[in-house]
Structures are given as structure tokens and as C-alpha cells.
């Protein structure tokens, strides 16, 4: 099996072309994402044909669960299409079918050089039942108190096609025990479909820092939907601007949201290497 390894701000993926063969994708994700016995990745990206877009993307976390959408992953998909020569020089936008719906990726060029990707991340969903969060009301839900394992959190809930809980802190995010608290938040009964968990801090006008515990993957270097959720939550809380730069362990992403429409995210994606998987491909 041929594969490509890519990363977007340190969030890394194994990509396979599912147009060429079929497999048990969840079982394959478990095998290839293992960092000791496999290739090592936060997730498996599967490229598939689409009847209503240029391409279809499925993403499986390293625990074999399927994610609805991934902002870093979709940029990596666009980079791979570019590297494969599947995008003409004149093409500016790639339309991608995801489990969360149709998403668009705009290629950011400097002359003939491809320097980044702007992703239309969709309109944030703030209704608790649609996120989903086991709370009544129409939303948005801001600063909801939740105590987990001795930690008092104040959470804002956002769906970017997948569910997020954002907590703002006054101390550096590196000091927060994310690896310990993250599993308690992800699996809390308040979240019927589990949840992604972000810790964020305002650094200054238009600048934030964040760390992410990804549902099904654990702590990752970056998360595009997570950064989008942080930008939305910050604006809703009155502590963020329409345009923000969010620093994550793997790098920075630029987010834009006017408070009404679609969130736009701009960031890099790079090909690390191509390879051949020598193991059995589960059917």
C-alpha cells in the first residue's frame, strides 16, 4: 500500500488514496497511526471520489473513530492534491466533501509558489442539542461551570462540524495539565458524542495561545477545528477580535470570523515523505 505522510502545524496524518483500493479504514487507522509499530500519526486521511465536490475526505483518529471534519487534515489533503499534479495552476479553490458537509480550500500563492491554504470552516453551530451537549436552551452556552477531577473549568461550547469545549485561562497554557484533565472532559456524560477540549489564553490584541485535547487522538500539536472554536468562543466572550492569530504547539493559524457567517482559517501544510506500507491491509 502506497501512502503519503503530511503535517499541518505539527498535526500529522497518513494519507492513502482510497480511489485505488478498498480497506477496513478504522482497522487500518489503528495500524498505521501507531507511533511504535506503525508509521505514526494523529489520524488517517482517506481520499475518495465525490459526486458533488472535487474530492471526498474521510478522516479516522488513531483510536479508529471517524471524525466529522479536520481543518489541518483538509489542508494536508489540498497539499497532496497539489503535489500529485491533480490541481491545475489556474485552479484557486478545491471543494471537499466531508462528513460535516461541503468545505472549500483556497490555495494561497506567492507567484508560482504555494505558500498556504485558506479553509472555509463553515458556520459555527452554537445550539447545545446540535453540538451535542446535554443542556437545554438555544445557546450560545458561555462559561458553563464544570468540575472534573478537582479542576473547576468554565466552558464555552461550539461545533465546527465536530464538538468543542473551550476554557480560557489567565496562566500560560503550557502549565495546564491537559494530558491529565483532557480524558475526563472528553468522556464526561455532558457530551453524548464525546468532545474536543481546548485550553486558551489571550496574549494581546488579536493574539491567543491554545492547546488541544482531540477526541480520539489525545493532545495534538495543532487542531484546525479547535483553533476555529477558540476564535469563535473568544469573540462571543468579548475577548477576541474578528481577526486573530492563534499559536499552538506546532505553529500558528490565522482565523477570521465576523460573528455571523463562516469561519475562515489560513495556515500551512507540508508533505513529509512518501512510503510503502509493508503490512497487511485489512479488508
Model pTM greater than 0.85?
Answer: yes
Counting Cβ atoms within 10 Å, is residue 11 exposed (0-12), middle (13-18) or buried (19+)?
A: buried
Identify the H or E element spanning 199. Answer: strand 196-204
Q: What is the dihedral of CA 96, 223, 219, 57, to 10 degrees?
A: 0
Domains annotated on the chain, with CATH: 2-120+268-276 (3.10.310.10), 128-261 (3.10.310.10)
What does the alpha-carbon distance between residue 74 and residue 56 come to, in Å, rounded to a whole number?
10
User: Cell triple for residue 133?
Assistant: 451537549
Counting Cβ atoms within 10 Å, is residue 189 exposed (0-12), middle (13-18) or buried (19+)?
A: exposed
What's the pLDDT score for residue 112?
77
Are β-strands 11-17 and 43-48 bridged in parallel, bridged antiparallel, or unpaired?
parallel
What's the pLDDT score for residue 18?
97
* Residue showing cell 464538538: 163
Answer yes or no: are the C-beta atoms of 48 and 16 closer than 8 Å.
Answer: no
Catalytic residue among 223, 234, 246, 253: 223
What does the alpha-carbon distance between residue 76 and residue 222 come to, in Å, rounded to a whole number?
13
Smallest Cα–Cα separation from 119: which of 71, 68, 59, 53?
71
Please list the residues that pair with 107 across neighbouring strands.
Answer: 117
Q: Buried b / exposed e across 95-114, counting CB within 10 Å, b at 16+?
A: ebbbebeebbbbbeeeeeeb
Q: Is position 76 annotated as part of the catalytic site?
A: no
What's the pLDDT score for residue 280?
85
Catalytic residue among 33, 70, 107, 155: 70
> Angle 138-140-146 (CA atoms, 0-180°, nearest 5)?
105
What does the alpha-carbon distance between residue 40 and residue 32 come to, in Å, rounded to a whole number?
6
Per-residue pLDDT of the chain (283 residues; tens, 9 = 90+): 999 999 999 999 999 999 999 999 999 999 999 999 999 999 999 999 999 999 999 999 999 999 999 999 999 999 999 999 998 877 899 999 999 999 999 999 888 788 899 999 999 999 999 999 999 999 999 999 999 989 999 999 999 999 999 999 999 999 999 999 999 999 999 999 999 999 999 999 999 999 999 999 999 999 999 999 999 999 999 999 999 999 999 999 999 999 999 999 999 999 999 999 998 898 8
What's the pLDDT score for residue 283?
83
Q: Is position 70 annotated as part of the catalytic site?
A: yes
What's the pLDDT score for residue 111?
81
- What is the CA 75 to chain-centroid distance, rounded? 10
Amino acid at each position: 500500500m502506497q501512502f503519503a505522510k503530511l503535517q499541518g502545524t505539527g498535526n500529522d496524518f497518513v494519507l492513502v488514496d482510497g480511489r485505488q483500493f478498498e480497506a477496513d479504514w478504522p482497522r487500518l487507522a489503528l495500524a498505521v497511526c501507531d507511533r511504535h509499530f506503525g508509521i505514526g500519526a494523529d489520524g488517517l486521511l482517506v481520499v475518495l471520489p465525490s459526486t458533488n465536490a472535487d474530492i471526498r475526505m474521510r478522516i479516522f483518529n488513531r483510536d479508529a473513530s471517524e471524525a466529522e471534519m479536520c481543518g489541518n487534515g483538509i489542508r494536508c489533503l489540498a497539499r497532496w492534491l497539489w503535489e500529485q499534479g491533480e490541481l491545475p495552476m489556474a485552479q484557486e479553490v478545491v471543494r471537499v466533501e466531508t462528513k460535516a458537509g461541503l468545505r472549500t480550500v483556497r490555495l494561497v500563492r506567492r507567484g508560482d509558489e504555494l505558500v498556504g491554504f485558506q479553509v472555509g470552516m463553515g458556520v459555527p453551530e452554537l445550539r447545545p442539542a446540535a453540538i451535542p451537549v446535554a443542556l437545554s436552551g438555544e445557546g450560545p452556552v458561555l462559561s458553563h461551570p464544570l468540575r472534573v477531577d478537582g479542576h473547576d473549568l468554565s466552558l464555552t461550547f461550539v461545533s465546527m462540524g465536530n464538538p468543542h469545549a473551550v476554557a480560557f485561562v489567565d496562566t500560560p497554557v503550557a502549565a495546564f495539565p491537559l494530558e491529565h484533565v483532557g480524558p475526563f472532559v472528553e468522556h464526561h456524560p455532558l457530551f453524548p458524542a464525546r468532545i474536543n477540549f481546548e485550553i486558551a489564553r489571550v496574549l494581546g490584541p488579536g493574539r491567543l495561545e491554545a492547546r488541544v485535547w482531540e477526541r480520539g487522538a489525545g493532545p495534538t500539536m495543532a487542531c484546525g477545528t479547535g483553533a476555529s472554536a477558540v476564535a469563535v468562543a473568544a469573540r462571543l466572550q468579548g475577548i477576541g477580535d474578528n481577526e486573530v492569530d492563534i499559536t499552538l504547539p506546532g505553529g500558528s493559524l490565522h482565523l477570521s470570523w465576523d460573528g455571523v457567517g463562516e469561519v475562515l482559517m489560513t495556515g500551512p501544510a507540508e508533505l513529509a515523505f512518501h512510503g510503502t506500507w509493508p503490512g497487511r491491509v485489512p479488508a
